[in-house]
Every structure is written in C-alpha cells, then in structure tokens.
Chain A
Amino acid sequence: MMASIEIENLTKRYGAMTALDNVSLKIESGEFLVLLGPSGCGKTTLLRCLAGLETPDEGEIYMDGELVFSSKLNRIVPPGKRNLGMVFQSYALWPHMTVRDNVKFGLDVLNLSESDSKDRLDQVLKDLGMSDLQNRYPSELSGGQQQRVALARLLATKPPVFLMDEPLSNLDARLRMDMRVELKKFQASTGSTTVYVTHDQTEAMTMSTRVVVMRGGQIQQVSPPSQLYKRPENTFVADFIGMPRINLIQVNQSDGKNRLYSNGDIDIDIGWDEAPSSIVVGARPEDLKISKKKLEHSPTCEVSSVLPNGPETIIQLTKGKTILLARIGHEIDVHEGEKVTVQFDQKALNVYDAKSGALLGPPIDADRTN
C-alpha cells in the first residue's frame, strides 16, 4: 500500500487568475506532506488536481510511477481510477445513508463479493470505534464522530494515497488537538502516502514529515517542520510561520563599515564581508534576550506592552520607529514603560536580501567563528 507522487510543471488557470504556477514537487512513498498557505495560495487547487477533480492546464502528474495526467499526451485518468481516498473539509458524508452505507459505497463501486465487503466493513468500523453507531445517520453524530466516518470511508477501499482537505477545520479546538494525534497514528499505521491541506500552521508543524508552503500559486519552501521554523527560506515564509510573528528588521550598510548595519534605531553586526547593502534580519521573539542591565553595543528599548500568556509572556519593545516582539519566561519581570536592553541570539538569526526577500544565510557562520 505505498505510492510516490510526482508533480511536474503543473499550471492551472481560472480565466486571468493563475491558481497554480509551474509547480513541481516529489512526494515520497509513505510521507505525510502538508500543503500550507494563506487562503487563495493554490493549496486546495493542487490537492484537487491530484484527486482529478480539477483539470490542470499544463504539466504532468505521476502516481506510483503511472502517468495519471499529462497535458502533452492528452491524458486524464478520472478520479475513480487513480486509486486514492479523500477526506473533504465538510466530510461530504451522504446524509441519506447510514454510517455503514456511507462506508460501504466505495466497496459497492469496486464490486466486491458480499462476504469480503462485509468483513472489511466490520473491520474498518471496529478499528475506528464506530461499530455501535453504524446504523445512525450522519446528522445524528457529533463532529468528531462524523470525522471518523469520513476516515472509515477513506480506509475501506485501502487506497495507497490519502488526500485530506482541511479535515479538522470544522472541529472545536480541544477535539482538533485529539484528532491530530489520532490522525498521525492512523497515517503511520497504514503507511499510506498522505497529502494534507491546511491553513493552520500548528497542524502543519505537528503532523507532517514535510511542509510545503505556498503563496500565489507557487511553492515557497519545502522542508521538514523544524527547519521551516528555524531556517525560513524567504521573508514571506519567515513572516507566515510562527506565532507571535517573527521580527523582520530592515537594515542598511552603515558608511564605510562593511559589517555594521543599521536602521537608525538598531545596529546589527552580521559578521559578513560580502553582503548586499540592504538586508532584512529575521529574529524570532524567543531569540531576543532581555536584560535590565545596560550593555554596550546593545540597543535600549522601552517596554510598550506586556501580554502574559500562561507559560510565557510576550512583550512589545519600541525604539524610535522600530517595534520588536520578544518572548520571555518567568525569570524576568518587566512592566510597561520600563527601559530594557535587547540582545539578539546571533546563531538563530537569519539574513535576507531586502530586494528579493531570499535567504542569504545565518549572519555568523557557526563553524567559522565559534
């Protein structure tokens, strides 16, 4: 039950709007790949192209080595023949069928023998703990139970590829947390290749083996979740990932001194010799160190807002026109209006080209200096 997916130069237009712009992606067998991005970025379109529910204008799609779509060869394999299962955002449970009939539908299409079909149905319903509810109608189930029926329907036909379109977005926060754990286990136990669409970055980070960040129909970055957070490859991804958001400080080369950059309020020494004259420095809120002592070469900012949030506190710092967010623990107690000194964790910083927004690298090469 394994299948890799290859997407090559896929383009999909709706009139003048380009929903997918020359997208290429290779998805390994058994991977849990999350497509993440703001609404309208093309993630759902990409998923629907994989399912065969949308027909791309250009490009190729291979599933398990088989060509299922090709604009050049005029080949479109219909959704039902692509050997995949899908969970829709609304679950798309058929309201006029019982839980059992909903799950059975796919097996009926496969023309399975009555006994095979019955065995598989019983097994799937048992696995998902729905045996007692199998004669209920979808409207008589809770949100979480409906979600399970959608999964049962997906599992019954044992497809090697799972496609999921924001399956948890209709659940309340607590249930969503539980279902995340369950979905992850579920995927690991079946080993199916899973493509999962969401706009919720926590969901993307917690469940995926790799995350694809999309914007305006293009792929911005493909990385394992931890790297996505630590080394965003451009300012869009840096800004999109992380809550509270990253501090992006645009600084310019100061006269004569190559390595010193400044925006008038804050000076940063990135320790590089060859860098563009204008850069953006990305610093996560937890990469800012606050101290009440005065330190040389470190800017002094005013605490303009304190937002306690359980285990941590977010504070807003102001110096001139520059506003920074910092995440601090309980070891330091600050109040609004106080002056504090801010230090950056040099190793965690990322430097971007201000013009293109592309990542140039960490400021100080860890191997070289330390």
Chain B
Amino acid sequence: MDLATTRDSPLMRLILDPVNILLMILLGILFYLVLWPFLELVLHTITWGDGDRRLSRDAVPGEYTWFHWLQVTASPLSERMLYAPLVNTMITGVISTVIALIVGGGLAWCVIRSDMPGKGWLQPILTLPYIVPSFAIALAWETVFRSPKVGGQPGLYETVLGVAPPEWVSYGTFPISITLAMHYFPFAYLLVAGALATIDSQMEEGALLSGASRMMILRRITFPVVAPAFAAAFVLTFGKTIGQFALPFLLGAPTQFHTIATMVYANLALGLDSMAYVLAILLILMSLLAIWASNKFVGNNARRFETISGKGFRSRQVALGGWRWPIFWSVAMFGFVVGILPLILLGYQSLMLIDGFFNLSNLTMHFWTGQSDPEIAMGEPGVLYNANILGATWNTIELAFFSAVIASLIGLIIAYIVVRKDGNPLAKMLDQIAFIPFLFPTIAFGAMYLTMFAEPRGPIPALYGTFTLLVLISVVNRLPYSVKTGVTAVTQIGRELEEAAEVAGASWGRRFRKIIVPLASSGVVTGMMVSFVGVMRELSLIILLITPSTRVLMTVGFNYAEEGLTQLSNALVLIVAMLTIAGELILWWAGKSKLVRLREKHS
C-alpha cells in the first residue's frame, strides 16, 4: 500500500484513468472523422476551386464565393440540377416509403399477430430483398421491363408479349418507387414487427369483451399503439431511400431521370465538384429535417404510447378463420415474387449468350466460366476466371472483415464509456457524435470524404485511392449501429461484476479484457456479422472513393451495368447476394443455437 501521494490525488487519478484517456482520444478521432469532413464539405462549396476558372471568369481560387450555391439554386441550370431531381427524390421517396410501410406493416401483422401458417420459413424469404444488394432488384426489373427504345436488348416482357412496355414502366418514377419499396419493405417490416410484438393482447381482449368488432379493434386499439413505430419507420425508411444511388441511377439515368443522389454522382463525373457538394449538403439537410420532424412528432407522443411489458404480458394470436389459407398463399406468392424471382431472373440472365433472347439455345456458361473472347463482352473473361473480379472479391472480403471488426471494437469501447460514464457531458457528446453518421445519406458521406482526403492535410497523407480510406469510411458509417449493439451488450453486464474485479485489484485493461469483452462478445459478434454483411453490399457509400486498385465486387458490378455488360454485372450481383445470404444464414443459425443453449440452462 505504499504509493506516492501524487498518484493517489483525485486530479491525477482523473487524468490517468484509462477510460478518460480513451474518451478524449475517441472524441478527437470522431471529431476529425465525422464533424470536420462536414465542415470541409461546406467550406468547399463556398470557396472558389482551381477548376472553377472554366465556369466563371471571376474565379479566384481560395476566395470565398456564393457562386456554387447560386448556380445550383438560382440559375438557368437549377431546374435541371436541383428542382427536378428534388421533386423526383421526394416523390419516389414518399411513394416507396408508403408502399413499404403498408406492405411491411401488413406482413408484420400477419406474422406476429395472426395464425397464418408457414411463418417459420416465410419470414426469412420476406427479408431476402433487404439482404441482397439494392440494385439487384433494379437489375432484375431491367431484365424484365427493359425497353429497346432507350437502347439495348428487349426484356422478358417484350419477348413474351411481343410489344415493348410503356416507357413509364421501364424507367422513371414508377419502377424506381416500386423497386425501392421492394428493397425497403423488410426494413419497415422489422420495425413494425418489433412494435407489434410488444402489444399485450389483453388490451385487445378488453376491447373484445366490450363488444368491439375485429376491424374496430385493429383501427382503434392496435394501430394507435403501433403508430409511433410507424412514424419512426416512415422517417427511417424515407431517409434511407433518398440516399439510394445505384437503384435510381440504373432505372432513371437512361431517360435523364435524376434524383439528388444520382445528380451528385453525375456532377462529380462531369468534374463539377462544388455543385455536387452543394447537392450533397442539401441531401443531408433533407435527412436532418426528416429526423427532426419525426423526433418532434414521435418524441412528444412516444411516452404516452409506451406499452408496459411487465407481469401478465400475453400475446394471443388472432384467428384468421376462412382467410387463413388464402392469406398464406398471397404472402407466399408475394415472398416468391420479391424475394426469389429477382435472383432467378438475374441467374438466368447471366447465362444468356446474347442478352434478351430467352430461348434455351442461347444459354451459356461463358459469363461465369469462359475465357477471354474478343467477340463477347469486350473480351472480359467469365467472372470466375476474371483476375479483376478475383481481386475485387478479395478486396470486398477484406474490407468487410476489417471494417466489421474495427467498427465493433470501437463501438464496444464507446458503448462502455457511454454506459459507465452516464451523466458525464463529454461521454454524452461522444455518443451523439458517434450517431451523426446515421444522419448522412451515404452518397453525401462519400462526398465528404472525397473533399477531406483528396489531398494531404498536416500529418495525414492524401488517403484518396487507398484501401485505408475505404475501411475508414465503412467503419465510421457502421459506428451508429455498432455503438447501439455495444450499449445493449454493456448495459446487460451488471456494474457489480466489474466492481468485484476492481476490488480484487484488476486494472481497467484487465477488467475490459477478462470481464467486459467475454460477456459482451455474443452480442458484439452478432453485430460484427451484421456489419460484415452490410459493408459487403454497400455501394453508394464508397462509389465516389473507389479507384481501379481498390475496387470491390459491388463497384465492379455497377461499372459493368453502366457499360451495358448486364450478364457480367448480374453474375457479380448474384455472387454478392449469395455471400450476404450466407452471412445472414450464419447469423440466423448462431442466434438459434444461442437461444437453444439459453433455454437449456434455464430448464
């Protein structure tokens, strides 16, 4: 017990406390990786750049100017650059979100609250569209509804019916809204299902006893209780749709139909960086506005609607009676059409030697296993023999692995600080900054990192074009999720477990390694797997930062699609889809076995 008095003084203890040191370091890092890039983005838009001389004679590189903002918002270009895409973004966003909510909410009710048969295997099928990359669905749509009027080969629709589909079915608002809804309804489904699962059916039984009809119960009891979840689901889904890039690009760009997200990309492709960044900022503002609105609405009402799940909680299922099987078949059909059919179409399409000819003699394995042939697909070899693609596969797995592991570990440490330093304003700030990336539409986030890391800054080299930058942005993008997973895990670890080790004299490092990490591991590993799958299918986030040496499967697939090499792009997207489905299966299996183990222990 002989210790120097200085080491035992409260101030020194505060400074030497490893948790405080970590808190300060993480605050610094997150400030640099989250807030600063946003400032850079804003600054970039109000400064004359080197390339601006060809846009305006007044350009003085380095000086401040409103030129870019005025160009975007109040110039002859504004209509095409901002207002039309803005309207498109809003319309496709709202339509797709509404459809996703209705479909997702209805399915959630069927699965959670009704006695519909076959739930066990319908549920994974219904989440498939969200598991596969979003533009798989866009590619599948194209396979069916492609219109030769715009160019390229006819789709399945025309081959079967002999007439070309109307253009509004092939490109623009309609297909974008539908495919976005198809991709995001499982997301809405999961959010609403979570809320429905917490409803105590005694509430409904109470209404039943007072003589209310089933419809009335649904309308007057069930729906109002899940309304806040619906509102939250609306905002979250909407926020995700407006940041979507690849899907609207594939189904809109051929007819010059643009959303803000595709406009960011198009402007960058034209070298109009500052315009692109102005649009990115506007996209971020839209997202912030949506979140703010939801907080204003849900935040004030959430407490009132909070259902208490304490003792006497019961969840009774509603009998569908004669509707049982018709509903089952409709849901199963729907699941097949949105979950499995697109993958079959992609698979079939990747086997066609000449795109658009749907007869058996046209089938080939060339795009999978063929060697380079100058006659076919500009000499690109089949995906399984393509050195580029093998490299991209390796990059994809590496990127997903490193990002998932690093994000989970940092997420756990942040979560630990947030939970254990509850009430400390700096810890609260850390929590909030770690959440901010959630508010950035992914393509705008990519734009930020493009401005931030294009050139060296102080001790940090120009990271543009490096693999490190991809890991960095993926990690920061996953942080909101990994912190949340971490908080759930750490909250479940009683403080006393750690104090017992503290009394035994274990240092903080030892406690974190021996107590916190092992106990949080099951939750964190699950989160890691979710991140792994999420990073693998991510495109919008990194599309602006990819260079040939750092390509990943999704960007290679996207480039093939851009070049019209649909079979190759379909084959690639299918590979990513299989990888993500495999990941989800592992997760599902792990979760199931864990449940079994827990149950065994309780009995």
Contacts and interface: CB of A to CB of B under 8 A. Distances in A.
Does A associate with B in a complex?
Answer: yes
B324 interface: no
A88 B496 CA distance: 7
B505 A109 contact: yes
Nearest to B515: A94
Interface in B497-548: 497, 499-507, 510, 514-515, 518-519
Contacts of B518: 96
B76 interface: no
A153 B497 CA distance: 13
Contacts of A83: 1
Contacts of A140: 601
B9 A109 contact: no
A294 interface: no
Given A53-B503, A105-B504, A76 B496 contact: no
Contact of B503 (A51, A68, A110): A51
Contact of B501 (A51, A82, A90, A105): A105
B11 interface: yes
Contacts of A157: 504
Contacts of A96: 518-519
Contacts of B519: 94-96
Nearest to B8: A75
B496 A90 contact: yes
A143 interface: no
B506 A80 contact: yes
A164 to B, nearest CB: 12
Nearest to A89: B496
Interface string B1-38: 10101001111010000000000000000000000000
Interface in B61-88: none
B374 interface: no
A74 B4 CA distance: 12
Given A76-B10, A96-B518, A88 B506 contact: no
B6 to A, nearest CB: 9
Contacts of B5: 73-75
A92 interface: yes
Contact of A74 (B10, B499, B502, B601): B10
A85 B1 CA distance: 15
A81 B13 CA distance: 14
Nearest to B602: A139
Interface of A: 51-53, 55, 66, 68, 73-86, 88-90, 92-96, 105-106, 109-110, 139-140, 153, 157, 163
B312 interface: no
Given A76-B9, A90-B494, A53 B502 contact: yes
A53 B499 contact: yes
A45 B406 CA distance: 38
A75 B9 contact: yes
Given A66-B1, A74-B10, A89-B496, 4 more contacts: A51-B499, A78-B8, A86-B503, A139-B601
Contact of A86 (B8, B500, B507): B500
30 contacts: A51-B499, A55-B10, A74-B9, A76-B9, A76-B10, A77-B8, A78-B13, A79-B499, A80-B505, A80-B506, A80-B507, A81-B505, A84-B503, A86-B499, A86-B500, A90-B494, A90-B496, A92-B494, A93-B497, A94-B500, A94-B501, A95-B497, A95-B519, A96-B518, A109-B504, A109-B506, A110-B505, A153-B500, A157-B504, A163-B503
B581 to A, nearest CB: 31
Chain B contact residues: over half helix, strand or loop, or mixed? helix
Nearest to A140: B601
Which of B3, B13, B500, B514 has its CB near the most chain A CB atoms (within 10 A)?
B500
Which of B1, B5, B507, B519 has most A Cβ within 10 Å?
B1
B504 A74 contact: no
A370 to B, nearest CB: 53
Nearest to B496: A92
Contacts of A84: 503
Nearest to A85: B503
Contacts of A68: 1
Contacts of A92: 494, 496-497, 499-500
A92 B511 CA distance: 13
A80 B504 contact: yes
Given A105-B514, A109-B506, A139-B601, A88 B9 contact: no
A64 to B, nearest CB: 9
A81 B1 CA distance: 6
Contacts of B11: 74
A179 B162 CA distance: 87
B1 A79 contact: no
A86 B601 CA distance: 27
A81 B499 contact: no
Contacts of A81: 1, 3, 505
Contacts of A88: 496, 499-500
A81 B7 CA distance: 13
User: Which 7 pairs show the lowest CB-CB distances between chains A and B?
Assistant: A80-B505, A92-B496, A106-B504, A92-B500, A74-B9, A88-B496, A96-B518
A163 B601 CA distance: 31
Contacts of B3: 77, 81
A53 B506 CA distance: 13
Contacts of B506: 80, 105, 109
A86 B497 CA distance: 11
B8 A94 contact: no
Contacts of A93: 497
B20 to A, nearest CB: 14
A77 B1 contact: yes
Nearest to B499: A53
Contacts of A80: 502-507
A105 B11 CA distance: 30
A104 B504 CA distance: 10
Interface in B136-164: none
B8 A76 contact: yes
Contacts of A105: 501, 504, 506, 514
Contacts of A139: 601
A140 B598 CA distance: 12
Contacts of A90: 494, 496
A95 B522 CA distance: 13
Interface in B463-521: 494, 496-497, 499-507, 510, 514-515, 518-519
Contacts of B499: 51, 53, 79, 86, 88, 92
A153 B503 CA distance: 11
Contacts of A153: 500, 504
Contacts of A89: 496
Contact of A94 (B497, B502, B507): B497
Nearest to A53: B499
B420 to A, nearest CB: 12
A196 to B, nearest CB: 15
B21 to A, nearest CB: 16
B214 to A, nearest CB: 43
A79 B506 CA distance: 9
Contacts of B496: 88-90, 92
B523 to A, nearest CB: 13
Nearest to B598: A139
A55 B9 CA distance: 11
A84 B503 CA distance: 7
Nearest to B12: A74
A79 B500 CA distance: 10
Nearest to B517: A96
Nearest to A165: B496
B441 to A, nearest CB: 40
Nearest to A110: B505
A96 B503 CA distance: 19
A68 B510 CA distance: 23
